[in-house]
Chains A and B, each alone.
Chain A
Amino acid sequence: AQSVTQLGSHVSVSEGALVLLRCNYSSSVPPYLFWYVQYPNQGLQLLLKYTTGATLVKGINGFEAEFKKSETSFHLTKPSAHMSDAAEYFCAVSSVQGAQKLVFGQGTRLTINP
């Protein structure tokens, strides 16, 4: 079975500050890892994904994440927060083996302070 834990249901940062959203996963097989963003009353948009290869993954809107197998982590970062980054962020895990469903974390609501 696979699972995802997102540390911190709410994160608040100042505009221009570093954004760090934490995600730890559990998987008995090599994982595929994803970060999605959800704006109010909208569907989910893929920010970035890790499948194989380079462990540092760059996504849209200046976000990146690093897959660390030894720490079972896939934290999301952005060097400088923008007001438009305010949204809910979801980390998800899947794998090439078995079911193709995504298993999501509980989500982290990011607030940007002016």
Chain B
Amino acid sequence: NAGVMQNPRHLVRRRGQEARLRCSPVKGHSHVYWYRQLPEEGLKFMVYLQKENIIDESGMPKERFSAEFPKEGPSILRIQQVVRGDSAAYFCASSPPTLWNEQFFGPGTRLTVL
């Protein structure tokens, strides 16, 4: 059984470019969560999505960041016009609809902004 897949594992962007991070949840999981881990810090919640719906985006920066989880395909976290402060590890987690309190994490995407 495949776990949560994230790609790319490493992403380098220059300031002002766009970053697209992809997350494929565990098969059968309909809930996806994105977290950000800044250097030397714990994970911070960003957004919680179900298929085609954003349920909780209270942790998302107000500008430049967006997320989607379409009916078909992976969840996408999109960062427009990246800045150096966006450099971090971005983790995706998924959970099944009936066991939301057990979140399975992917290996993360490490974004470096030059």
Contacts and interface: CB of A to CB of B under 8 A. Distances in A.
A97 to B, nearest CB: 12
A54 interface: no
A36 B106 CA distance: 13
Contacts of A49: 101-102
Nearest to B4: A43
B42 A107 contact: yes
B6 to A, nearest CB: 8
A51 interface: yes
A16 to B, nearest CB: 29
Interface residues of A, number: 23
Nearest to A103: B45
B101 A51 contact: yes
A94 B101 contact: yes
Contact of B42 (A45, A46, A90): A90
Most interface-central of B43, B45, B56, B102 (chain A CB within 10 A): B43
A102 interface: yes
Nearest to B107: A43
Interface in A45-101: 45-46, 49, 51, 90, 94, 96, 99-101
Interface string B25-56: 00000010101000001111100100000011
B43 A99 contact: no
